[in-house]
């Protein structure tokens, strides 16, 4: 009898406490952030992480950097005779400037600065059929993109509270006034047309929202691009499209735009270029990046680099 009374008075309550403690511990594991996870502890850090992890944003750099890609240009009759041209870009700094509007919206201005090297495989011999020298030109380029974030929760953990809901297109370059893209028109195979005149003000939605959605393309779909630009130079500019690279830089392709028209305007010329590209068979997030450089940048070994770049993300369906 004494043994039964002891169990009732002491052992059973101790077992109940142990069970309650066990369930309390499980609940804590579900609600408390594990130590040492490296998750952001501020709203600024949370928004930076969202921008760094977004697939459509990430895909830009793999197509802006043409490392390992130098496309055939053909023979010229200029002072140097270029055969292949490509540029290698290295990200040296990035800054996300955030403006909070009330308690639910944040606007971000993302600026990335790159150090670039333009490689020109060329020959000084007009009769040469192969390049015998590689000209390297260093330059600095800054690109900008605007972001919109929405607060979706009010927990103690900032990285759970925010969602990236819209991104603008990319615009940047060397900031030269002598070359300026003014308009991009995209003709999709389904008959839709996309017209862009200010990339940083053209927003695409990341999820729900009233913004335009990221262009959805099928594998093997052809897209016509028309680029309008102002150039201070009468000669045909060097306007290219780099596209199709995944985040590892694979499947990258490059095409040279063809000049359609050139009209004198003020201190320069208004020009129209066109090119068609076809998506490859690999599904995923990609970027189409347009680079415009004056002709002498490519054909004169002493001319400094001047360029303007626009970028638009797209998604290839399975």
| Residue 196, pLDDT score | 97
pLDDT values of the chain reduced to their tens digit, one per residue, 318 residues: 544 554 445 454 544 444 444 434 444 333 344 444 578 999 999 999 999 999 999 999 989 988 765 444 433 334 566 778 888 999 999 999 999 998 899 999 999 999 999 998 888 777 777 888 888 999 999 999 999 999 999 999 998 999 999 999 999 999 999 999 999 999 999 999 999 999 999 999 987 777 889 999 999 999 999 999 999 999 999 999 999 998 888 888 999 999 999 999 999 999 999 999 999 999 999 999 999 999 999 988 899 999 999 999 999 987
**Hey, where are the domains in the chain?**
40-316
273 C-beta neighbours (distance < 10 Å), count: 24
Residues near 312 by Cβ (< 8 Å), separated by ≥ 6? 169, 170, 184, 186, 194, 196, 199, 215, 287, 288
Among all chains, which residue has been given the structure tokens 């992890």?
53
């Amino acid at each position: 009898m004494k043994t039964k009374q002891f169990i009732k008075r002491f052992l059973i309550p101790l077992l109940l406490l142990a069970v309650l403690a066990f369930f309390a511990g499980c609940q804590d594991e579900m609600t408390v952030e594990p130590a040492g996870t490296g998750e952001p502890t501020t709203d600024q850090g949370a928004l930076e992480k969202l921008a760094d992890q977004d697939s459509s944003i990430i895909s830009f750099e793999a197509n802006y950097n043409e490392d390992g890609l130098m496309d055939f240009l053909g023979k010229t009759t200029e002072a140097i005779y270029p055969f292949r041209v490509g540029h290698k870009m290295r990200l040296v700094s990035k800054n996300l400037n955030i403006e909070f509007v009330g308690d639910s919206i944040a606007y971000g201005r993302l600026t990335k600065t790159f150090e670039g090297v333009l490689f020109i495989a060329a020959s000084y011999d007009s009769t040469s059929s192969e390049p015998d020298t590689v000209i390297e030109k260093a330059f600095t380029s800054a690109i900008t993109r605007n972001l919109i974030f929405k607060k979706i929760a009010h927990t103690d953990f900032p990285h759970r509270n925010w969602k990236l809901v819209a991104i603008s297109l990319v615009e940047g370059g060397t900031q030269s006034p002598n070359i300026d893209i003014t308009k991009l028109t995209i003709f999709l195979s389904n008959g839709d047309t996309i017209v862009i005149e200010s990339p940083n003000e053209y927003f695409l939605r990341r999820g729900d929202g009233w913004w335009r959605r990221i262009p959805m393309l099928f594998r093997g779909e052809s897209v016509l691009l028309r680029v309008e630009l102002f150039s201070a130079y009468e000669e045909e500019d060097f306007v290219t499209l780099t596209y199709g690279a995944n985040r590892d830089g694979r499947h990258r392709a490059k095409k040279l735009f063809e000049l359609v028209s050139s009209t004198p305007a003020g201190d320069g010329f208004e020009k129209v270029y066109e090119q068609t590209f076809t998506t490859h068979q690999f599904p995923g997030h990609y970027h189409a990046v347009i680079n415009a450089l004056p002709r002498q940048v490519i054909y004169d070994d002493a001319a400094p680099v001047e360029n303007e770049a626009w970028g638009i993300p797209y998604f290839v369906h399975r």
